[in-house]
A and B are shown apart, each in its own frame.
Chain A
Amino acid sequence: MPSFPGGIHPDDCKGQTRDRKIEKIPLPDKLIIPLSQHIGNPAKCKVKVGETVLKGQVIGDADGFVSLPVHASSSGEVTAVENSPHPQGKRSPAIVIKTDGRDQAVKEFGLQRNWEQLSVHELIQFVKEAGIAGLGGAAFPAHVKLSPPPEKKIDLLLINGAECEPFLTADHRLMLEQSEEILQGIRILLTILGLENCLIGIEENKRECYEALVSGIRIKGLSGIKPVLLPVKYPQGSESQLIYSLTGREVPSGGLPLDIGIVVQNVGTAAALFHGVARNIPLISRVVTVTGAAVRKPGNYLVPLGTQISRLLEFCEADLGRTGKVICGGPLMGISQPTLDAPVIKGTCGILLQGSNFSADTEWGNCIRCGRCIRSCPTLLLPVTIAALSRKDRFTECREYGLLDCKECGCCSFVCPAKIPLTHYIKLAKYHLLKEQHQQNKSGA
């Protein structure tokens, strides 16, 4: 089986939730809908406090090309537009809705469209209007990837069904339960890109998903769509690594997949795209894996966007007394939460609760120069060197060692026997460099 260099083999820990069907959670009485749930400009708020909104109603307009609208996930009254906790860390502007329990939708909601008769331009328009961001975690607006500049020739679509982070099973369930929607979404993507062929990368520990998709393709008589099994190796689902595994092509340093003719979308994004384009159901909910030792009802839940993590955990009967860390996302790239008030957003693929006895990484040893971090780095960087330079504040030198190509995948920190938080220092260097650059740009302008 083809694969990329480096990478790690953590225990996949998916047993707790892989067989749990996607379950809808009850509507919470309060929704916090951040205006920024995607990479790019935050949406512009278009509702006022006191206003009544309906499910599926646009409550924030896209602000520019690399931006998305946001929709109300249910009906109710806007009670505030304020800075609220955000799962990415900082507080950010959000629309707070007190739901009325009627879950009343706008009248076009669910309207069926025969998408095959729409023009490419209209299809892309609908993708944008549905507010579709990549659901794999990075939350890049989907329509941007689908409108490559004319000089970039796209020749292949890749669908990411790798789900390589341990614990997460949302994509796994989606591929089993909504394989038809995913395949339809892929057909829409192929139509938009004017392509015939698409590969779906799936890690081997999800063989049943592979089979579900293969049989779906056979039944529908689809040609050109080909699921491919990949070895279980983190970060198989990272864009560059997936491309390398499936095609052997390398994304150039500082470049994008479209520079080498490839567009990558996540399986969940494909399903959401189908709902948005063919059913006129904007992205207002997503599947979230809630798991960890302290969760009594672990599973895969269909959660309205804007549901606070605390409400979700309540529903899953999490034992907060036994919880030491709450992570939004997977254990390797996820963000630990200071508060449970932050909402589920478009990029939230999982909530992981670590027990109170997890090993805190406050103490670490000396680097023994074992080179494990180097061997594990999928980007072939020298994490030990970059982190050491970062610790000495030599950020510009970090850059010469390829700092900006770091995917922040966490492999190097994972394997380090001295438990040095390498990824942390690398991120720190990036942060400082970008800040410096920003200041230079400002003073130059």
Chain B
Amino acid sequence: MPKLTISSAPHIRAEHSIQSIMLDVLFALLPAALAGIYFFGLKSLLLIATCVITCVAVEWLYQNACGFRITVSDLSAAVTGLLLALVLPPQTPWWAAGTGSIVAILVTKQFFGGLGHNIFNPALIGRAFLMASWPAYMTTWAQPAGLYSHDWLSLTDAVTGATPLALAKTGQYTSQIDLFLGSVGGCVGETSALALLLGACYLLLRGHIGWQTPASYLGTVALLSWVLGENGFFTGHPMFHLLAGGLILGAFFMATDPVTTPLTGKGKIIFGLGAGILTVVIRKYGGYPEGVCYSILLMNAVTPLIDRFTAKRRLEAGK
């Protein structure tokens, strides 16, 4: 008589796992990371390495210390690290990046119960924390150098300047083609819309993210930034606002973070709408030139509420 296993149906499972999904996300972020290294040089690579290694190490140490199951192999900490690095200015000091990583993993994720239990996106909290703690570092921007420039390997501060969004506050608009390709000042992974969209397409095709949040988020920002233009209603620059800053990264990689955003399609659309309104309001009326980070964090906070009111209709609720 063989030893037979008894278990509840179903007896087969899909091949994907949390690990394989996270691996896909890392893969999708690769173009943006490479673009960041290309435009800002070696220091971007070091920044990425600092964040990823710190995030993974902190998770491992904490779980070991508490006697929890070690879950670093699910790669979610690595994703957080990479995302955090991509939303930091290229010359953020290593110790600041490391501190941000600790806040992201330890405070935002592990203290809330680990993967799946965090309310806020860890990478964004890490960034918000750094913004509040060392605003000077967080608003000094390197201008892109590129491979051909002699200072690609330089680790010292490059020429600094304002970001396109900061410039826009003074009425100067960066060219859209520069914004699209990424040769503008900004965070490591935010500058090249092209690289980000490549990764986003991959995630969409693999079914890891839905179209709902990005579509409603980007749509709202485009519409509102046009309506609330500088020279009166309907005079805004929607294309500029779509391409500038971290909107594309935020819309496809942060606002789609499954853990901290609504479960259902309807909820995801509401989430995108809310984040879109907040982004434009912050960019236009707020003290910061960039509104993506805070808009998503604020929407994270209302996600449980959105989930509550968007429970799905049942198919068989009547004819």
Q: CB within 8 Å of B: which residues of A?
A: 4-5, 8, 10, 166, 240, 244, 249-255, 260, 320-321, 323-327, 331-340, 352, 354, 356, 358-361, 365-371, 374, 378-382, 384-385, 401-402, 405, 408, 410, 413-419, 421, 423-424, 427
Task: Please state if A379 and B5 are interface contacts (CB–CB under 8 Å).
Answer: no
Task: Please state if A382 and B5 are interface contacts (CB–CB under 8 Å).
Answer: no
Q: Least Cβ distance of A423 to chain B in Å?
A: 6
Task: Please state if A419 and B316 are interface contacts (CB–CB under 8 Å).
Answer: no
Residues from chain A with a CB closer than 8 A to the CB of B117 are: 366
Task: Please state if B18 and A326 are interface contacts (CB–CB under 8 Å).
Answer: no
For B, the interface residue count at a CB cutoff of 8 angstroms equals 44
Q: Least Cβ distance of A82 to chain B in Å?
A: 21
The total number of A-B Cβ pairs within 8 Å is: 167
Task: Please state if B4 and A369 are interface contacts (CB–CB under 8 Å).
Answer: no
Q: Least Cβ distance of A374 to chain B in Å?
A: 6
7 A-B pairs within 8 Å (CB atoms) are namely A331-B11, A368-B18, A371-B210, A382-B263, A382-B312, A410-B10, A413-B9
Within the complex, which residue of B5, B20, B74, B264 is in contact with A360, where a contact is CB–CB below 8 Å?
Answer: B5
Task: Please state if B7 and A336 are interface contacts (CB–CB under 8 Å).
Answer: yes
Task: Please state if A369 and B319 are interface contacts (CB–CB under 8 Å).
Answer: no
Task: Please state if A418 and B9 are interface contacts (CB–CB under 8 Å).
Answer: no
Contacts A368-B18, A368-B258, A418-B18: A332 and B315 contacting too (C-beta < 8 A)?
no
Chain A facing B: main interface SS: loop
Distance, CA A325 to CA B7, complexed state (A): 9
Task: Please state if A8 and B14 are interface contacts (CB–CB under 8 Å).
Answer: yes
Within the complex, which residue of A402, A414, A417 is in contact with B21, where a contact is CB–CB below 8 Å?
Answer: A417
Known pairs A253-B314, A321-B2, A331-B11 / 13 extra A-B pairs, C-beta < 8 Å: A252-B317, A252-B319, A327-B11, A331-B12, A332-B12, A360-B5, A366-B115, A367-B116, A368-B21, A368-B116, A414-B10, A417-B14, A421-B8
Contacts A365-B74, A366-B117: A360 and B7 contacting too (C-beta < 8 A)?
yes
Contacts A366-B115, A369-B116, A382-B312: A260 and B319 contacting too (C-beta < 8 A)?
yes
Is B6's CB within 8 Å of the partner chain A?
yes
Q: CB within 8 Å of A: which residues of B?
A: 1-14, 16-18, 20-21, 71, 74, 76, 113-117, 208, 210, 258-261, 263-264, 311-319
Task: Please state if B314 and A380 are interface contacts (CB–CB under 8 Å).
Answer: yes
Distance, CA A405 to CA B6, complexed state (A): 25
Residues from chain A with a CB closer than 8 A to the CB of B4 are: 323-326, 336-340
Among B5, B7, B17, B76, the one with the most A-chain Cβ atoms within 10 Å of its Cβ is B5
Among A326, A340, A360, A365, the one with the most B-chain Cβ atoms within 10 Å of its Cβ is A365
Task: Please state if B20 and A417 are interface contacts (CB–CB under 8 Å).
Answer: yes
Task: Please state if B11 and A334 are interface contacts (CB–CB under 8 Å).
Answer: yes
Residues from chain A with a CB closer than 8 A to the CB of B260 are: 369
Residues from chain B with a CB closer than 8 A to the CB of A402 are: 314
Residues from chain A with a CB closer than 8 A to the CB of B317 are: 252-253
Distance, CA A405 to CA B318, complexed state (A): 12
Q: Least Cβ distance of A413 to chain B in Å?
A: 5
Residues from chain B with a CB closer than 8 A to the CB of A339 are: 4
Within the complex, which residue of A334, A337, A352, A359 is in contact with B13, where a contact is CB–CB below 8 Å?
Answer: A359
Closest to A339 in B: B4
Task: Please state if A369 and B10 are interface contacts (CB–CB under 8 Å).
Answer: no
Distance, CA A378 to CA B314, complexed state (A): 9
